[in-house]
Amino acid sequence: MTIDEALQQLKEKGYKITHKREEILEFLKEQNRYTSVKEVIDHLKADYPGLSFETIYRNLALFAELGILEETELEGEKRFQLSCGTDHHHHHLICLSCGKTRTIQNCPMISVPEIADFDITGHKFEVYGYCEACR
Protein backbone atom coordinates (compact mmCIF):
# COMPACT_ATOMS: atom_id res chain seq x y z
CA MET A 1 0.00 0.00 0.00
CA THR A 2 1.25 3.48 -0.82
CA ILE A 3 1.06 6.46 1.53
CA ASP A 4 -1.43 8.14 -0.82
CA GLU A 5 -3.67 5.05 -0.77
CA ALA A 6 -3.51 4.95 3.03
CA LEU A 7 -4.38 8.66 3.35
CA GLN A 8 -7.22 8.28 0.86
CA GLN A 9 -8.61 5.41 2.92
CA LEU A 10 -8.50 7.57 6.07
CA LYS A 11 -10.27 10.40 4.26
CA GLU A 12 -12.95 8.09 2.83
CA LYS A 13 -13.71 6.76 6.33
CA GLY A 14 -14.12 10.30 7.66
CA TYR A 15 -10.85 10.63 9.60
CA LYS A 16 -8.68 13.73 9.57
CA ILE A 17 -5.40 13.63 7.71
CA THR A 18 -2.87 15.23 10.03
CA HIS A 19 0.82 15.85 9.60
CA LYS A 20 1.49 13.48 12.51
CA ARG A 21 -0.50 10.67 10.85
CA GLU A 22 1.35 11.23 7.58
CA GLU A 23 4.69 11.07 9.40
CA ILE A 24 3.72 7.83 11.14
CA LEU A 25 2.83 6.24 7.81
CA GLU A 26 5.97 7.55 6.09
CA PHE A 27 8.15 6.17 8.89
CA LEU A 28 6.50 2.74 8.65
CA LYS A 29 6.93 2.77 4.87
CA GLU A 30 10.66 3.54 5.28
CA GLN A 31 11.07 0.77 7.86
CA ASN A 32 9.52 -1.89 5.59
CA ARG A 33 9.19 -4.29 8.54
CA TYR A 34 7.15 -4.83 11.68
CA THR A 35 7.86 -1.86 13.94
CA SER A 36 7.05 -1.25 17.63
CA VAL A 37 5.11 1.67 19.08
CA LYS A 38 8.28 2.72 20.93
CA GLU A 39 10.24 2.90 17.66
CA VAL A 40 7.55 5.16 16.17
CA ILE A 41 7.59 7.40 19.25
CA ASP A 42 11.40 7.59 19.24
CA HIS A 43 11.31 8.68 15.61
CA LEU A 44 8.65 11.38 16.15
CA LYS A 45 9.49 12.74 19.61
CA ALA A 46 11.95 15.39 18.36
CA ASP A 47 9.18 17.00 16.28
CA TYR A 48 6.41 16.34 18.81
CA PRO A 49 7.65 16.79 22.40
CA GLY A 50 5.25 15.27 24.92
CA LEU A 51 3.96 12.73 22.40
CA SER A 52 2.34 9.90 24.35
CA PHE A 53 2.41 6.15 23.89
CA GLU A 54 -1.40 6.15 23.96
CA THR A 55 -1.68 8.67 21.10
CA ILE A 56 0.62 6.69 18.84
CA TYR A 57 -0.93 3.35 19.82
CA ARG A 58 -4.47 4.64 19.14
CA ASN A 59 -3.42 5.84 15.68
CA LEU A 60 -1.66 2.56 14.86
CA ALA A 61 -4.68 0.57 16.11
CA LEU A 62 -6.98 2.72 13.96
CA PHE A 63 -4.78 2.18 10.91
CA ALA A 64 -4.82 -1.58 11.55
CA GLU A 65 -8.61 -1.59 11.96
CA LEU A 66 -8.96 0.20 8.60
CA GLY A 67 -6.62 -2.31 6.91
CA ILE A 68 -3.88 0.27 6.36
CA LEU A 69 -1.51 -1.60 8.68
CA GLU A 70 -0.96 -5.24 9.49
CA GLU A 71 -0.19 -6.12 13.09
CA THR A 72 1.47 -8.99 14.87
CA GLU A 73 3.04 -9.69 18.24
CA LEU A 74 6.77 -10.32 18.57
CA GLU A 75 8.31 -11.11 21.93
CA GLY A 76 5.15 -10.00 23.75
CA GLU A 77 4.98 -6.62 22.01
CA LYS A 78 2.55 -5.47 19.32
CA ARG A 79 4.25 -4.47 16.08
CA PHE A 80 2.86 -2.84 12.96
CA GLN A 81 3.79 -2.58 9.29
CA LEU A 82 2.19 -1.00 6.26
CA SER A 83 -0.25 -3.40 4.64
CA CYS A 84 1.05 -5.37 1.69
CA GLY A 85 -1.83 -3.96 -0.29
CA THR A 86 -2.36 -7.23 -2.10
CA ASP A 87 -5.83 -8.56 -2.78
CA HIS A 88 -4.80 -12.20 -2.67
CA HIS A 89 -4.75 -14.31 0.47
CA HIS A 90 -1.25 -14.83 1.86
CA HIS A 91 0.79 -15.26 5.04
CA HIS A 92 4.24 -14.16 6.23
CA LEU A 93 7.64 -15.38 7.31
CA ILE A 94 8.75 -12.91 10.02
CA CYS A 95 12.34 -12.36 11.20
CA LEU A 96 12.47 -12.31 15.00
CA SER A 97 15.54 -10.09 14.95
CA CYS A 98 14.80 -7.31 12.46
CA GLY A 99 11.05 -7.75 11.88
CA LYS A 100 11.33 -7.97 8.08
CA THR A 101 8.77 -10.16 6.34
CA ARG A 102 8.51 -12.40 3.32
CA THR A 103 5.28 -13.58 1.77
CA ILE A 104 4.14 -17.20 1.86
CA GLN A 105 1.81 -17.86 -1.07
CA ASN A 106 0.41 -21.21 0.07
CA CYS A 107 -2.15 -21.36 2.87
CA PRO A 108 -2.02 -24.28 5.33
CA MET A 109 -5.78 -23.99 5.96
CA ILE A 110 -6.35 -25.88 2.72
CA SER A 111 -5.31 -29.06 4.52
CA VAL A 112 -7.54 -28.47 7.57
CA PRO A 113 -10.62 -30.67 7.30
CA GLU A 114 -14.05 -29.17 7.82
CA ILE A 115 -15.16 -29.50 11.41
CA ALA A 116 -18.86 -30.33 11.69
CA ASP A 117 -19.63 -28.37 14.85
CA PHE A 118 -17.36 -25.36 14.24
CA ASP A 119 -17.72 -22.44 11.82
CA ILE A 120 -14.30 -21.04 10.95
CA THR A 121 -14.55 -17.29 10.32
CA GLY A 122 -10.86 -16.48 9.86
CA HIS A 123 -7.32 -17.46 10.68
CA LYS A 124 -3.81 -16.09 11.09
CA PHE A 125 -0.69 -18.00 10.13
CA GLU A 126 2.81 -16.60 10.68
CA VAL A 127 6.16 -18.36 10.63
CA TYR A 128 8.93 -16.95 12.81
CA GLY A 129 12.67 -17.36 12.42
CA TYR A 130 15.74 -15.45 11.27
CA CYS A 131 16.38 -13.95 7.85
CA GLU A 132 19.67 -14.42 6.04
CA ALA A 133 21.02 -11.05 7.24
CA CYS A 134 20.25 -11.79 10.92
CA ARG A 135 21.45 -15.41 11.18
**Residue positions forming the annotated binding site:** 89, 95, 98, 123, 131, 134
Q: How far apart are CA 48 and CA 51, in angstroms?
A: 6
- Helix spans in the chain (H): 3-12, 19-31, 37-44, 53-65
The binding site for Fe cation consists of 89, 123
Residues 100 and 92: their CA atoms lie apart, in Å, by: 10
Extract the annotated binding site for Zn(2+).
95, 98, 131, 134
Instruction: Please report, in angstroms and rounded to a whole number, the separation of the first and last CA atoms in the chain.
Output: 29
